[in-house]
Structure 1
Amino acid sequence: MAARDETRANEAIDRLNEEGREPGLGEVIWHELDLKDPRSAKESAECFIARERKLDILVNNAALSVITVLVHPGSNFMVRSRIPAFGNVQALNADGIGESMAISSLGPYIFTKTLLPLLESTASLDGADVRN
């Protein structure tokens, strides 16, 4: 399970194990992945490739939602920012890329592109059913 926060990932893994999984599905372990930094996403994928022989499932579900505050005069309609510290300003990563863009698009693209050779080799195995 790839995630940037080891504690939260391990809590999720513990819940999976408590709820029970089908026998023979292997072990779920934490894999460090912070999509905010494109170099970190690439390094994470390279670390995975060095450790694993195949990759059956890749789910790209990371996202950062930045909603600005909208108030329509004369109505009760209002949407507040989901990230109050940022307010109406888009946070940038160290490379000057918007964090929302890095986490939601660029990071997953680099991570997946780096893992593509492993996904392709897994897909070529007899009986393989690779999903992304």
Structure 2
Amino acid sequence: MGVTFSQFFPPSPSLTEANLPSQKGKVFIVTGGTSGVGFELCRILYLAGGRVYLAGRSEENARHAMEQIEEGSGSSTGTIHFLHLALDDLSTIRPAVDTFLASESRLDVLFNNAGVSNPPAGSVSTQGHELQMATNCLGPYLLTQLLLPTLVKTAEGSRSAAVRVVWTSSIVVDLSAPKDGMNVTDIGQPSKDQQANYTSSKTGNWFLASDLASRVGQHGVLSVTANPGNLKTALTRHMPMIVPILVSPLLYGAVYGAYTELWAGLSPDLSIKDGGTYIIPWGRVHPSPRPDLITALASSEDGGTGLAKAFADWCEKQTAGFR
């Protein structure tokens, strides 16, 4: 209960734009960078001198966001670029990666930040998957897999755990995920309850972070997941109007969510042994995750249920045709 309480009322962030070291020479991709947490994260990385790729579906919205960032960042030596990407359309992801690799030979941190919550019932992706599972898990999974060779190559010339993938989860994993996180055998048959589907996708983000960590940790790439916090962002736009009003006293500005992801992506307090770790607001390792979820993350060989690997295998099967 104490950990849950502290996620609603976190201590002050320890890594912000005020004390972030120079990121000059580093390359970042931030999905969903046109608004909310993604916008603030792009702003902070740009301000620190990073080379930032703002990935999103709308070039118009991206150009507007980038103009705001550039105008508000004074004499920053950073650069910011638009990368067209629609996570709910798997056919856009390979072209986005090709565009990125035509300009860059390294990638220091991939922030899988974009997400959708509680869209209208029956909403599906271009390929017919439940929209939240598609946007929050399948799209980020494919994007990460296609960028993995570049991440691994970058890690060869970097200090330990400097190259990272950050997946975006939610407090709903702690509060309402079913026992073991999800039933992988039913994942292709979404619930009629959109909140249940959202919870499955956010649990899936942790599963994907953990599975990736087990595969690439030995190559120097750190993979973690983060609950950005309870925030005032467009993520609540599909919820009944009364919900944001009722919970408003518990919500923080989007920049605080950026601080959580910033810590997950750049804090020197994390090392390769923290692969698969769950980060909580505004940048702390979750001290006591649910035991059933820890068991789901572990392989059967290590005494777990292997559900994380099973979910990653399902994502691989769904996305294999778009490599």
Shift of 1:126: 4.7
Normalising by the residue count of structure 1, what TM-score does the alignment of the two structures yield? 0.73
Where 1:63 maps in the other structure, the secondary structure is coil
Shift of 1:23: 3.9
More strand by share: 2
- Superposition pairs of residues 44-63 of structure 1, within 5 angstroms: 44-63=96-115
The one-letter code of the counterpart of 2:82 is: W
> Residue 2 in 1 paired to residue 34 in 2?
no
How far apart, in 1, do the equivalents of 2:151 and 2:75 lie? 23
Where 2:81 maps in the other structure, the secondary structure is coil
The answer on whether the counterparts of 2:154 and 2:163 sit within 8 Å (CA) in structure 1 is: yes
Aligned partner of 1:130 in structure 2 is: 163
Larger RCO of the pair (alpha carbons < 8 Å, separation 6+): 1
Aligned partner of 1:18 in structure 2 is: 71
More helix by share: 2
Does the C-alpha gap of structure 1 residues 20 and 53 become closer, same or farther in structure 2, counting only changes over 3 Å? same
Normalising by the residue count of structure 2, what TM-score does the alignment of the two structures yield? 0.32
Where 1:58 maps in the other structure, the secondary structure is strand
Deviates further, 12-21 or 101-110: 12-21
Q: How many residues align?
A: 111
Percent same amino acid at aligned positions?
Answer: 32
**Structure 2: stretches of 5+ with no match in the other structure:** 1-53, 166-323
**Structure 1: stretches of 5+ with no match in the other structure:** 67-82
How far apart, in 2, do the equivalents of 1:21 and 1:64 lie? 32
Q: What do residues 12-59 of structure 1 show as CA deviations (whole Å, max 9, x unaligned)?
A: 11121122166433x101110110111212321232123211112211
Which of residues 117, 140, 143 is equivalent to 1:111? Answer: 143
Does the C-alpha gap of structure 1 residues 111 and 21 become closer, same or farther in structure 2, counting only changes over 3 Å? farther
The one-letter code of the counterpart of 2:64 is: E
- Superposition pairs of residues 36-115 of structure 1, within 5 angstroms: 36-66=88-118, 83=119, 86=120, 89-115=121-147
The answer on whether the counterparts of 1:41 and 1:108 sit within 8 Å (CA) in structure 2 is: no
